[in-house]
Amino acid sequence: MRTVIEKSLLENTISYPTYRQLIDDLLVEGKVTGPNQSESLAHYTKMNVARMRRHEKTTKLPESLLSVTANLSRNVVLLVLTEGWCGDAAQILPVVQKIAETTDKIDIRVLLRDENLEIMDRYLTNGARSIPIIVGLDSETMEELFVWGPRPKPAAELFASLRAAQAPPAEVAEELHKWYAKDRSVTLLAEIEDVLASI
């Protein structure tokens, strides 16, 4: 039996444009999303804003994916658990938003992780609160259709190998962002296409 999420949960969510505005507004005050505030998190968030802007301007969707979104048989809510300082989220969310913009059958709803740990803890990755996590839900029944995240499979494998080698966090982040730059969202688009096609 598949998990069903309470519909009332959506009352705590925001749209992607509202999420982007929230990040920008907080940065003006030197703040970031979530309860933890630091100069390093503000620095990461500023870099993420540049990454998000780049993806918003340059992302091109393959025809095969456009065909999948055009032929969705049901309306889907993509519930995204994230925070503005998350580097993976900056590489992923704008691309997923572009996908959602191709059809009125997909609605992205952003839920800030650290304000919703009881939900986050349903979707742990190897025991960790890794983000972003995208939960695909039937918009009528709120039945869970799929869970994706926190990063494309090759990036997850790279992350695991770097962590196993006890690479410092800064090196892990640098190598991951190099991978994202080289991949140009190709793997992400293919994986999201697969999960959407599966429903």
**pTM score of the predicted model:** 0.95
CB atoms within 10 A of CB 182: 8
**How confident is the model at residue 7, as a pLDDT?**
87
| Strand partners of residue 82 | 112
At residue 1, does pLDDT exceed 60? no
Rounded to 10°, the helix 169-183/87-100 angle is: 30
Domains in the chain: boundaries: 7-197
Q: Assess contact for 94 and 59: CB atoms under 8 A.
A: yes
In the predicted model, what is the mean pLDDT of the chain? Answer: 96
Q: Assess contact for 123 and 81: CB atoms under 8 A.
A: yes
φ/ψ of 146, rounded to 5, equals -165, 160
List, for residues 30-61, the tens digit of each pLDDT value: 999 999 999 999 999 999 999 999 999 999 99
- Terminus-to-terminus CA distance in the chain, angstroms? 15
Per-residue pLDDT band for 2 (boundaries 50, 70, 90) equals low
Q: Tell me which amino acid residue 174 is.
A: E
**How confident is the model at residue 38, as a pLDDT?**
95
Taken in order 69, 99, 33, 35, the sign of the CA dihedral is: positive
Tell me: domain 7-197, CATH 3.40.50.620, correct?
no
Q: Assess contact for 86 and 125: CB atoms under 8 A.
A: no
